[in-house]
Structures are given as C-alpha cells and as structure tokens.
Amino acid sequence: MNQEPAGHLEQRSSAEKNKKPSWTSDAFLQNPILVQAIGLAPVVAAATTLRASLIISLVCAAQLVVCEPLAGAVLKKLPGWLRVAVYYVLGLALTLPLLYWLELRGDVAVTTLGLYLPLLALNSLTAVRCERFAVLHTPAECLRDALANALGYAAVALVVGVIRETLGRGSIWGREFMSMNIRGLWMPFGGFLLVGALAALLKVILRFLSERGIYSGADEAMELELDDRQERLEKTQRLLENKEPEPAPEPEPRREPAGESIPPSEPEIEPPQPLSLAPPVPAAREEPDAGQPRRIPLEEFQEMDDPMRIFESKVRPRIDKMAEQNTIRLAEIDKELESMLERLDDLRP
C-alpha cells in the first residue's frame, strides 16, 4: 500500500486522530459552512428557495452517509488521490439518476437548481470530511460524524433558503403570501452576505453560551477561524519547545604585538575540594549575554505563573534573613544600653 502523504485535504493532526464525534460540536461549533467555510457553492448560489435547499441538504446528507463510512472501512487503504476520485464517482452515482428523474418529471427544481444539482457530486464537504476524519476513524464513528455534519449543513442551507425565498420572492415552498421582491437575495452575492451574517450570528450565540457557562465547549468554536488549526498548533508547540542555544562564537585569535612574544599561560591547577556533607548547591544559572534573551525552561516558566510560589521561594527567605539580622542587631543595642545605664548608676554620687 502506498503511504499516504499529508496535504491540503489530509491534515492529520493528533487532534483529529483523537477526536471523538459529537453532535453539537460537528453540527454547530464546527459547522461546515459557517465555521469551516466548506461546501459554499450550492448554499450561496443555489439555495434560493426552501425546496431547493431541501434537495441540496438531502443530496449532501446522502453523499456523506455513503462516503464517510465507506472511507473509514475500505477506502483508507487506497492512496489519497485515488480516494478523491472514488468520492466523485459515488457522488455522481447519487446525483445523476436524481437529475435524470427530475428531468423526466419536468420538475421545476431542475430550473431552480440548474447546474448545481449535478455539481453536488463535487461538493468539497464530502472530500474534506472524508479525508480529515473518516480515514482516521471507525465506520461507526464516521457514520455519526456524517450525520452530524449533514445536520449542520442542512440547518444552514434551510435557513438560507427560507430567508431568501421569503424576502426575495415573498413566498414559501412556491406559495406567495406577501409582496416582496429583493432581487439581490437571489444572486450569489446575496448568498455570500447572508451566510457571512449567519456566521457572525453563530459567533455571538456561542459566545453568549460560553459566558453564561451553559456550554463549555463553545470556546473551541471561537478558535475555529479560517486559519488552519494545524498550523497554529504547530506554531504554539514550536514556541513552547526548548530550542538548543546558539553555539558560542569562536574567540578571536590573539594577535601578538610586533617584537614581543607572549609566553604561553601555565595551566591552572585546581585546588583539592574539601569534603563536605552538605547537599550540593545547584549550579547558578548562566546569565544571558547582553542582548540575548535567556531561554526559560518549561518547568520554570510554569512555576513563574504562580505568584504565591514566587513569594514563598524567593521573597520570604530574604525577609526572614533580614528579620533575623535585625533581631540580632536590636539585641546588641539593648545590651549596650544596659551596660551604659549601669555605668551611669556607678558614676552617680
């Protein structure tokens, strides 16, 4: 079997490998459209009515439910570039018969969806979820992830479809109930703006839940921005790692002044160390060179975070020492005063 290379679709981080599927996390916190910005084309351009949104949602759900468990069970053994082709074939097997059947019926959905129905086979949602999650987990977990992502995708698609049909055409499910005609909502730019507004609304809701403590997992969604989580994880790890100090620059060779010769220095003989039962004193920290920041070990960095620990370890011993010294000094002063008072008593007539 070919070893699978990591790439755009196959971002296998330890976080993804150890991740367990969760309904709320996959459907809302990591919503494929509003958070991860994948599968945009059908929702932005084609989800202009409730009926079209429903068809898009059902087709995408069917694709995910078929492809993800299959990827988790069998397809993980194939090379990555071949797996993507298999997803496309499976998507075509779902969308082309549906398109043919709708054409035979003369369904209005063919006109509404147009080119987007057969292109659902190329929806990036399926490929991304299969490559990022399905090939790393069991078929049962893949099925759960597929249903959760399908739920999140459908929720957004249906909301977008309802809003666009209601405000754009004044109708629901093809039945007019008011006179509205905002043409901009029919067009892709209206879809982009609407999805962007929904993404902002989701952030507000999740932040509200997080601040109220209703749902602790909401904080994770705040970090799922467009930037790659894997890149930020690796960057953070690089910052926390102890890097080897740069090699010290070689000392400049001594230049002998003309006419003089410097005798070689005699090697220093270390005096014998006296025997001591005291515990070894830890070596003093090397002071960093001027201008070069000192590399702080991770353990020391973690300890620095606790002010009480800093007080107990560094400040209190110095206070105790100063107090002890002051106590000795006061005792000496008291003793001198007593001796002076005795001498005065002796001198008094």
Partner 1 sequence: MPEFLLSARNLFVTMVTAGLYAVFLQNLVFSGGFGATEAIRAARKNGDIPFLSAVITVFTTLVTIIARLVLGTLPAWLGQRFAWIVGVYSAVLLLLYLLVCGTAALLKVRWKRYLLTRMGMAALNTLVMAVPLISYRMGQTLPQAVAAGLCAGIAFAVASLLVNSGMHILQQNKSIPAMFTGVPATLLYTGLLALAFTGFTGAMLAV
Residues near partner 1 (CB under 8 A): 2, 5-10, 34-42, 44-46, 79-82, 84-85, 88-89, 92, 96-97, 99-100, 103, 110, 115, 118-119, 121-124, 127, 181, 183-184, 187-193, 195-197, 199-201, 203-204, 207, 225-228
**Of residues 162 and 187, the one with the C-beta less far from partner 1:** 187
Task: Compute the least distance from the CB of residue 119 to partner 1, in Å.
Answer: 5
Task: Compute the least distance from the CB of residue 104 to partner 1, in Å.
Answer: 8
Task: Compute the least distance from the CB of residue 152 to partner 1, in Å.
Answer: 14
**Of residues 97 and 174, the one with the C-beta less far from partner 1:** 97
Whole-angstrom distance, CA of residue 31 vs CA of residue 35: 5
Task: Compute the least distance from the CB of residue 231 to partner 1, in Å.
Answer: 9
Task: Compute the least distance from the CB of residue 3 to partner 1, in Å.
Answer: 10
**Of residues 114 and 297, the one with the C-beta less far from partner 1:** 114
Task: Compute the least distance from the CB of residue 25 to partner 1, in Å.
Answer: 17
Amino acid at the residue 277: L
**Of residues 21 and 80, the one with the C-beta less far from partner 1:** 80
**Of residues 188 and 288, the one with the C-beta less far from partner 1:** 188
Distances from the Cα of 140 to the Cα of 70, 74, 84, 147, 212, angstroms: 10, 13, 21, 11, 34
**Of residues 183 and 238, the one with the C-beta less far from partner 1:** 183
CB 134 within 8 A of CB 72: yes
